[in-house]
Structure 1
Amino acid sequence: MAKETKKSQPALTDEVVMNKIYLIRGQKVMLDRDLAEMYGVETRILNQAVKRNRERFPKDFMFQLNNKESENLKSQIVISSWGGSRKLPFAFTEQGVAMLSSVLNSAVAIQVNIRIIRIFTKMREMLLTNKDILLKLEKLEKDVTTSKQDIANIFEALKQLLTPPAEKRIRIGFKPDEA
């Protein structure tokens, strides 16, 4: 009986997963090769499972990168042009990643998917929190600007009250004031 050798899987930390999430076409996506590595399968196996279940992956769940996007990605993450896949990679949105757990029915795939979905959720929560903070800062900035003008007006009024008026000479006598 031959002993099965398993490829050791890298530690799947939040940071590792976050570094595999890219912004392409205005969407946060993960590439087929990165997902395959996390699941401990070959990229072709992952893509075959997706092709067999194509109806589960509409365009908003998964799309294939075009040449320009692929080249841009290669330059960003320094992928060698030699070796590796000769096909354009597939990009999976958060919903596509969630759907992968139904076509890659292994314990590893399910656990990895849970981890990835939690990280996508954390990222969304962080963005919403940052948005709330930015809105509060804008409001505070407007309040401070308004308050600055109010404070300047108060100081101007105080200066006028503290500065004695210029003495006006009052003439006493029977001579009319000359202009």
Structure 2
Amino acid sequence: MLSCVLSSDRAIAVNIRIIRVFTKMREVMTDTLALKLEIGHIKKKLSDQGKNIGLVFDYLDELINKNGSPVPRKQIGYKSE
């Protein structure tokens, strides 16, 4: 970079701007990567929860099918004759 070698005010200002732009680009890229990782983590959690909810409903369906006919119960309480 020629602006690093030259010592004029304009060259120094250009050098500072270049460094700031590259620093900002690095920050944006880092933030984007962190955001992508976080979104991936959230997607994985949601996928796992969806599977777990499906499994719970499958178990509930099995229980309902096993206990399809209710067992007759003895009435309790006051009996009139």
Superposition TM-score, scaled by structure 1 size: 0.35
Task: Quote how far apart the aligned CAs of 1:164 are.
Answer: 5.7
Give the aligned residue type for 2:3. Answer: S
Which of 114, 129, 134 is matched with 2:16 structurally? 114
Corresponding residue for residue 44 of structure 2:
142
- Return the structure number with greater relative CO, CA threshold 8 A, min gap 6: 1
Aligned-pair RMSD on alpha carbons?
A: 1.9
The residue matched to 2:7 in structure 1 has which SS? Answer: coil
Structure 1 residue 101: Cα displacement: 2.9
Contact 2:3 2:12 in 1 (8 A): yes
In terms of fraction of residues, the more helix-rich structure is 2
Q: Tell whether the 8 Å contact from 2:4 to 2:15 is kept in structure 1 after alignment.
A: no
How far apart in 1 are the matches of 2:12 and 2:54? 63
The AA in structure 2 aligned to 1:111 is: A
Report the residue type matching 1:153 in the other structure. Answer: L
Q: CA deviation at 1:115?
A: 1.1
CA distance in 2, matches of 1:120, 1:166: 69
State how many pairs are aligned: 69
Q: Is the 8 A contact 2:4 2:11 kept in 1?
A: no
Letter in 2 for 1:143: K
List alignment gaps of at least 5 residues for structure 2: 70-81
Q: Which runs of 5+ in 1 are unaligned?
A: 1-96, 168-179
Distance 2:53 2:14 in 1: 57
1:34-66 deviations in Å (ceiling 9; x for gaps)? xxxxxxxxxxxxxxxxxxxxxxxxxxxxxxxxx
**The structure with more strand, counted as a fraction of residues:** 1
TM-score scaled to structure 2, two decimals? 0.71
* CA drift at 1:166: 5.1
CA positional deviation for 1:163: 4.1
Q: Report sequence identity in percent.
A: 38
